[in-house]
Amino acid sequence: MSSKKIEIYDTTLRDGSQGEGISFSVQDKVLIARRLDELGFPYIEGGWPGANPKDVAFFEEIKKAKLRNSSVVAFGSTRKAGSRAVDDGNLKGLLAAGTDVITIFGKSWDIHVKEVFRTDLDENLRMIGDSVGYLRSRGKKVIYDAEHFFDGYAANPAYALKTLESALEAGASTLVLCDTNGGSLPSRISKMISEIRPRIKCPLGIHTHNDCGVGIANAVAAVEAGAEHVQGTVNGYGERCGNPDLLAIIANLQLKLGVACIAPQKMKELAETARYVSEVANLIQAKNQPYVGQSAFAHKGGVHIDAVVKNPVTYEHIDPALVGNRRRFLVSDVGGRTNILLKAKELDIDLKKESPETRRILEEVKKREHEGYQYEAADASLELLMRDQTGKGQKFFEAKGQVSQEKIGDNDPTARAQVTVKVGGKEESARESGDGPVNALDKAFRKALSVFYPAIGDLRLDDYKVRIVDSRSGTAARVRVFIETTDGKKVWTTVGVSSNVIEASCRYSVARLCGAIPIAPPRSLPRASHLGLFDRTVRLIGFSADW
């Protein structure tokens, strides 16, 4: 590890919240800030207190959180042209936020000064200096964001440098060079910082965007050229194409370049942090997210898997455990027997490479994936298939049912389902209404089966996805249904395919609960012990609430 230390500055709560589809509540922002504080980020930019009431409320709430490692930062702009800093409403709002650190941005590109601010270049320099100086006179540490710096330096290098000098002379502690439009490439970033670094006698920072798909690379290139402060967002949230993913930047700097960013023991929390923030943001985390995504260390091709089993470095650039992730082997029609054997080992199913059972499982997987099934994202259904093919599958109930549409075409559509289940020679029937046919079936099956298996009451739906397999068939096309279920501790996924969405939902979900129920007679154990038997995915397969 080199002696160099990078200041990590997170702007998820401000710049990240400008991403399409993101709307943090005050409580959301507090939760994320606490999590980032636990990770050890020095700076957490909380928002623009002069811009909206939500950010004002956040700065009041975060004072109660008593963060241990992070300084919360208020963000805003320089004073307006032709005014005094002491009278500027934006600067007053920044001071009212009560933070020890304030970040303000100013214009580095002469075209913005002339055409956006509609003022002269000298006045822009005074706006920067006056604003920084006023905040410093009030005892605040000031970080200056040089907006559009790389475009401004390319157009008018002398003037762009003057804007930095104005902020520095007024007392800014760090000058952050911003690639606001996200249009620069790493070579440009490196060249410009290398030219500027000797002329600026304070730490330089970097703030990039991902419009060219190289936001992370630009941030890393900046550090290699001399930047000591890096800004970004968790999961790359942000306006347009987003900001660079701060978690990937940290992993690249700390694991690849040996540059310290956070405490070494905290590196294992990166994957968990990514998931946590995506949950709070109510967004699905990208599976292919570098380092921390579910697919970051997932292997599907048979040749790849065979090599990884022999030596992981053949297809993995780091040990996934270093960032809190894990290796996954996917079973699909492009894999071979090695995939099947590794998955069987995970599931405690005894298979040999040359056994007929292994061959049958592989053939069945390929056949069903040709029909539209997809097992790489449905381990629970795959386990059922493997147990069926090895003769270890068990049937715990039989079921039949029907659905009728009661009302459609208004604001309160309803459907009715009637089902009968048979367990150990005993039958139980139930009839329920629901918001739609799948919801009605779920409620009816739940009611009937709970008589025999009360633990079903503790299962709930986590996610429900419907995907058309072959759109050329129009409304008669087959659909693939993924159902994700949880008992509050574990999550498992099943898949079903049919030209009928109700049948697809039931085929490997409700109707195959027979592969999920414990072998012990349902009423022979106390409720707590009964739930304790659900210690592996297969015992929790396929039943979901509120479809």
* CA neighbor of 520 nearest in space, from 539, 537, 543, 492: 539
In this prediction, residue 50 has a pLDDT band, given cuts at 50, 70 and 90, of confident
What are the structural domains of the chain? 7-262 (3.20.20.70), 398-540 (3.30.160.270)
3-state secondary structure at position 149:
helix
**Whose structure tokens read 């001399």?**
226
pLDDT of residue 391: 72
Residue range 506-535: mean pLDDT, rounded: 36
More confident residue, 400 or 505: 400
Residue range 278-294: mean pLDDT, rounded: 90
Among 147-161, 193-207, 216-230, 527-541, the least confident range: 527-541
More confident residue, 356 or 546: 356
Above 90 in pLDDT, residue 67?
A: yes
pLDDT of residue 533: 26
In this prediction, residue 547 has a pLDDT band, given cuts at 50, 70 and 90, of very low
3-state secondary structure at position 136:
helix
Mean model confidence pLDDT for the chain: 83
Helix (H) / strand (E) element for 216: namely helix 215-225
pLDDT in tens, 131-180: 999 999 999 999 999 999 999 999 999 999 999 999 999 999 999 999 99
The answer to whether residues 236 and 181 touch, using CB atoms and an 8 Å cutoff, is no
pTM here? 0.71
More confident residue, 211 or 480: 211
Beta-bridged to residue 102, according to DSSP, are 74, 142
Determine what percent of the chain is predicted with pLDDT higher than 90: 53
Residue range 231-254: mean pLDDT, rounded: 97
3-state secondary structure at position 19:
coil
How many other C-beta atoms lie within 10 A of the C-beta of residue 226?
Answer: 17
Distance, CA of 322 to CA of 307 (rounded, Å): 21
Largest interatomic CA distance in the chain: 90
CA 476 from chain center: how many Å? 34
Residue range 520-532: mean pLDDT, rounded: 31
3-state secondary structure at position 282:
coil
CA 361 from chain center: how many Å? 33
pLDDT in tens, 314-352: 999 999 999 999 988 776 555 566 667 777 777 677 777
**Whose structure tokens read 């139980």?**
428
Distance, CA of 58 to CA of 460 (rounded, Å): 33
